[in-house]
């Protein structure tokens, strides 16, 4: 210490650095030299000076686990958001090293601080703890009263939304346990997405099942809920339900074989709908003409092709089986019925021409390719029931296509089972 004082008295620069970018304060922080560090700071040492890797003295003392040194540096204004060359901040370093004592020191100094970057410091640390999947930190922040587990960021994401993105059921369970009232289970983002919307798009079967169990614990038997009060029938800002999201999301690399269908089946057990009742048909057409809503058309295009492709899946070296050929026949018949049921607009006198062209193309084996076009055409209301019967037969080829069968059920219910457009509620 006397040597340091002597050198400074004779003009030594307290912020001088060696070839590695290390300054005296870095060495003091690494060595847990508290008295020396205080003296250097009083002498004008730059508390946020970087070494060649962009690390400050606070980075170094957190790495060494020195609580007293960290307390000193933070109390003197060390920047806890300072990023090194890898993007690591003192906060994320605490989380990565799972040092809860160090994290508590930071929280105690800063949880009441609001900056331009941080509207709510502790809430942001809570989200970071979820992103790093550090359950101990989540528990510390919430149980310590630093932040609420129901907080949300600028996008409206709650910690539970973030845990779903990490596909971490254990962390989800912890967050839900910290919110006994269950508000987080139905919280929505600025895009209107509930946790189940996130699970349907990003999650695995275990993620969806975790939400299912916890929703049932809070809300009871879903069979006793009507459609309006079933939270799984809530739509996001795009007007789609979590079931629709699950059914239209391609299997990600996180999902193993069969997980897509398992997620759909799990949602079906909760009486989740594919479509809101008021979003099945468009109402601006002339009487007796039915045009399916765009979400219905888009979904049916995807699911009809998906069911057809599944029926043609064969093992390497095997010839196509009978089920694939049956699927072709049933798809052709479905398309034939669709063309025969297309409504004629009052101003149209050329139905026979284009209908004949479509029938020839379908007969030539292009039914699969024509599905998107056919779904864009309005149907005669009284013919819908017959088309739906064809759809059900097609959906049961090889292995039942759960989503198409639900489409059949919801459309049949909407049209009163008789193709009566005016029975739609």
Tell me the CA distances in angstroms from 166 to 128, 202, 207, 306, one per residue in order: 12, 9, 10, 28
Among 265, 165, 157, which Cα is nearest to 209's?
A: 265
pLDDT of residue 317: 45
Residue 251 has phi, psi (to 5 degrees) of -60, 125
Query: How do residues 269-293 score in pLDDT, each as one tens digit?
Result: 888 999 998 888 876 566 678 889 9
**Cα 70 to Cα 78: distance, rounded to the nearest angstrom:** 9
User: What pLDDT is stored for residue 283 in this prediction?
Assistant: 63
Residues 6+ apart with CB under 8 A from 177: none
Q: Check whether 172 has a pLDDT greater than 50.
A: yes
Distance between CA atoms of residues 228 and 112, nearest Å: 41
Q: Over 80: is that where the pLDDT of 55 sits?
A: yes
Mean pLDDT on 306-332:
75
Domain-by-domain residue ranges, the chain? 2-212, 278-312+321-423
For residue 425, pLDDT beyond 50: no
| pLDDT range class, residue 240, cuts 50, 70, 90 | very high
Residue 15 confidence (pLDDT): 74
Looking up tokens 């060495």 gives: 27
In the sheet that 379-380 helps form, which strands lie side by side, from edge to edge?
A: 281-282, 289-292, 379-380
Output the average pLDDT for the chain: 86
Band the pLDDT of 422: cuts 50, 70, 90: very low
Determine the CATH number of domain 2-212: 1.25.40.20
Average pLDDT over residues 184-197: 97
- Predicted pLDDT of residue 37: 87
% of the chain surpassing 70 pLDDT: 85
Is the model's pLDDT at 235 over the cut of 90? yes
Collapsing DSSP states into helix, strand and coil, what is residue 381? helix
In terms of Cβ atoms closer than 10 Å to its own Cβ (0-12, 13-18, 19+), residue 179 is buried
Lookup: tokens for 17: 């650095």
Q: Where are the alpha helices (DSSP H) in 47-152?
A: 57-64, 67-75, 90-96, 100-110, 121-131, 135-143
Mean pLDDT, residues 175-186? 94
Matching residue, tokens 């999902």: 255
pTM: 0.86
Specify which of 14-23, 107-116, 241-250 reaches the highest per-range mean pLDDT: 241-250
Task: Tell me: pLDDT of 319 over 80.
Answer: no
Question: Could you tell me if 147 and 158 are in contact, meaning their C-beta atoms sit under 8 angstroms apart?
Answer: no
Q: φ and ψ at 23, to 5 degrees?
A: -115, 170
Least confident interval from 28-37, 137-146, 205-214: 28-37
């Amino acid at each position: 210490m006397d040597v340091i004082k002597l050198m400074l008295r004779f003009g030594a620069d307290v912020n001088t650095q060696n070839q590695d970018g290390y300054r005296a304060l870095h060495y003091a922080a690494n060595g847990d030299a508290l008295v020396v560090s205080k003296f250097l700071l009083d002498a004008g040492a730059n508390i946020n000076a970087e070494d060649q890797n962009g690390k400050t003295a606070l980075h170094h003392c957190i790495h060494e686990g020195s609580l007293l040194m960290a307390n000193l540096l933070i109390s003197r204004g060390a920047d806890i958001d300072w990023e090194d060359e890898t993007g690591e901040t003192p906060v994320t370093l605490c989380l990565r090293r799972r040092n809860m004592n160090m994290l508590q020191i930071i929280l105690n100094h800063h949880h009441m601080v609001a900056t331009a970057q941080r509207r709510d410091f502790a809430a942001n640390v809570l989200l970071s703890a979820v992103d790093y999947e550090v359950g101990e930190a989540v528990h510390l922040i919430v149980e310590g009263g630093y932040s609420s587990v129901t907080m949300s960021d600028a996008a409206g994401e709650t910690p539970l939304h973030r845990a779903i993105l990490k596909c971490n059921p254990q962390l989800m369970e912890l967050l839900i346990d910290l919110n006994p009232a269950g508000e987080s289970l139905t919280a929505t983002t600025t895009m209107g997405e509930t946790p189940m919307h996130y699970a349907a798009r990003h999650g695995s079967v275990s993620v969806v099942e975790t939400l299912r169990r916890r929703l049932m614990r809070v809300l009871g038997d879903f069979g006793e809920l009507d459609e309006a009060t079933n939270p799984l029938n809530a739509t996001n800002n795009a007007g789609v339900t979590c079931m629709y999201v699950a059914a239209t999301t391609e299997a990600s690399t996180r999902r193993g074989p069969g997980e897509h269908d398992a997620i759909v089946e799990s949602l079906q057990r909760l009486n989740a709908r594919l479509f809101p009742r008021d979003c099945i048909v468009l109402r601006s057409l002339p009487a007796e003409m039915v045009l399916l809503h765009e979400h219905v058309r888009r979904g049916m295009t995807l699911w009809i092709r998906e069911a057809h492709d599944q029926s043609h899946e064969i093992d390497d070296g095997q010839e196509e089986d009978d089920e694939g050929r049956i699927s072709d026949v049933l798809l052709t018949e479905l398309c034939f019925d669709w063309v025969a049921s297309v409504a004629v607009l009052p101003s149209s006198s050329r139905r026979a021409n284009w209908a004949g062209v479509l029938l020839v193309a379908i007969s030539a084996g292009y039914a699969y390719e024509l599905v998107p076009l056919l779904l864009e055409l309005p149907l005669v209301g009284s013919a819908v029931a017959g088309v739906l019967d064809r759809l059900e037969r097609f959906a049961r080829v090889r292995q039942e296509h759960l989503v198409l069968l639900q489409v059949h059920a919801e459309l049949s219910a909407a049209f009163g089972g008789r193709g009566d457009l005016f029975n739609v509620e």
